[in-house]
Structure 1
Amino acid sequence: MSEPVARLTGHAVTGTRRLSGDVREAVLDDGRVVVAKRGHAPGAAAAEAAGLRWLAAAEAVPVPAVHGHDEDWLVLDRVPTGQPSAAAAERLGRGLARLHASGAPAVGAAPPGGPSRAWIGLAPMANVAGDDWASWYAEHRVLPYVRQAVDAGTFGPSEAAVFERACERFPPLAEPPSRLHGDLWNGNVLWDGREAWLIDPAAHGGHRETDLAMLHLFGCPHLDRVLAAYQEVTPLADGWVSRIGLHQLFPLLVHTVLFGQSYAAQALAAARSVSSG
């Protein structure tokens, strides 16, 4: 690991430490601390680097700086560790509103320089631009994972039909596409004691409510403060709370594909709620 870090940063490595899995911390000869991540698939490092740079370009929410990447490795700044605070949560909410408002060329658009074949966690994710949010969300964020779950035996034909009926009821996107983090669960929000940082994006153009629905699904410290501050900057459309389940279909189906039956019932409940709503 030291060789790619030295090559990508231009500095010798004086020490390393494993953080988790294929993620390691490295100390450079100038005293800086960076994180090196080995991509789980070809192009994964490039996809994450493009997403981080796209989020950083909005100058809205802190993200770790990208030092470089190759086919296998991505090297980033190390985010300091600290405790969540209400003030940081409010800054996060205002920053997310500005991030989303910075926009995207289309729903499904990949970050500049990013591949169309991307990932959300370890699951494949297609960044394919579309004209209509509802049909794009069904085609590229719901039905592919339903089919994978059917192939794995997690869902049968009757369960798949529940999702197909839900897709027929998706509302149109009545606002410009937003610049999304795309995998905004609590584990991808790091707190340094003053600010909240975003890591591990699955960035793409989409509906801003999708990011907020992920925060609801997996929890976030001071979430009420995050949402109140967000609303101060860019109020959400009427009825957004009733659409949380709609936007949670995507992460719930991804988790069903990755982790199996434990998320299947929750995904089905969300789909039935959309169908009956």
Structure 2
Amino acid sequence: MRFTEDLGSSHGWRLRRGVLDDGREVFAKSGTASSGVFASEAAGLRWLGEAIAVPEVIEVGPGRLVLSWVRQEPPGAVAAERFGRALARLHRAGAPAFGAPWPGFIAELPMDNSAADDWPSFYASRRVLPFLRMARLPASDVALVERAVERFAEVAGPAAAPARIHGDLWSGNVLWSGGSAVLIDPAAHGGHRETDLAMLELFGLPYLDRVLGAYREEWALAEGWRERVPLHQLHPLLVHVVLFGGGYRESLMGAVRRVLAL
């Protein structure tokens, strides 16, 4: 493989564009990674790739992940609608349980993917509470988050089977390509489908209204899903507090208060 462009770095990993001996363009992520992080990403991509467009995993090892290059194009309404339908089909592909049979990571942070019997307990014990312990928030904030966690079973909406979700579906992990979208950098696991939709809304996505409209035409959402958006944003906001500091505290606590008001 010959590297052709340095793409900078992310979370301490070096990002490069390259060309294989057979002429295929690739994306390479390399560096000292937490044990299993590249293998986890590769497993998630392969699993998601059974139901939606993702880059091909060409090579994975402790120090490097090589993926097929994604040629990007501007987003558009038609592509957004195609993505919405594809995302609904991905979620409907399902998962054996809440969790995954591989170790979880979001960025470089480990996540517990061990299975749980229901989504509210999975979300509380595997996602929200572990990151709350890492977030170094004031005691008063911690108490409010814990009060919200106690309400998860009450406010989570109708019980749902595990969906096959991306798990870190912010706009930067949606590449517009081929008249639709290609998903990258997953934290894939069996989860709640509303989690992916809430993540798209958290940081915005071009033509999000078209994505959501097409999604709902493909697979209707349970009543009250919009009111539950802050519930599903608690984990990604906690992740951002852990990674980037107190600048995200206000957004987190706003979401907490909205959960408590449900």
Bucket of the pairwise TM-score, normalised by the shorter protein = over 0.9
Task: Output the amino acid matched with 1:120.
Answer: I
Q: Which residue of 2 aligns with 1:131?
A: 117
Unaligned 5+ runs, structure 2: none
1:34 to 20, 23, 26: 26
**Pairing 1:197–2:203 present:** no
1:25 to 10, 17, 23: 17
CA–CA distance in structure 1, aligned partners of residues 2 and 96 of structure 2: 42
Identity of aligned residues (%): 56
Tell me, what secondary structure is at the counterpart of 1:242? coil
**Pairing 1:145–2:131 present:** yes
Unaligned 5+ runs, structure 1: 1-12
CA–CA distance in structure 2, aligned partners of residues 14 and 186 of structure 1: 29
Q: Which residue of 2 aligns with 1:106?
A: 97
Q: Which residue of 1 aligns with 2:239?
A: 254
Please tell me whether the aligned partners of residues 135 and 241 of structure 2 are also in contact (alpha carbons under 8 angstroms). yes
CA–CA distance in structure 2, aligned partners of residues 82 and 219 of structure 1: 18
Tell me, what secondary structure is at the counterpart of 2:199? helix
Q: Which residue of 1 aligns with 2:107?
A: 121
TM-score of the superposition, structure 2-length normalised? 0.93
Q: Which residue of 2 aligns with 1:55?
A: 48
Please tell me whether the aligned partners of residues 84 and 193 of structure 1 are also in contact (alpha carbons under 8 angstroms). no
**Pairing 1:228–2:213 present:** yes
Task: Output the amino acid matched with 1:156.
Answer: P
Please tell me whether the aligned partners of residues 42 and 72 of structure 1 are also in contact (alpha carbons under 8 angstroms). no
Structure 1 residues 42-66: Cα deviation after superposition (integer angstroms, max 9, x where no partner): 21110000000000012xx210011
CA–CA distance in structure 1, aligned partners of residues 100 and 62 of structure 2: 22
Structure 1 residues 89-119: Cα deviation after superposition (integer angstroms, max 9, x where no partner): 0010000000000001111224xxx3x3x21
Q: How many residues align?
A: 254
TM-score of the superposition, structure 1-length normalised? 0.89
Residue 158 of structure 1, CA deviation = 1.2
Tell me, what secondary structure is at the counterpart of 1:256? helix
Tell me, what secondary structure is at the counterpart of 2:228? helix
Q: Which residue of 2 aligns with 1:96?
A: 87
Please tell me whether the aligned partners of residues 37 and 108 of structure 2 are also in contact (alpha carbons under 8 angstroms). no
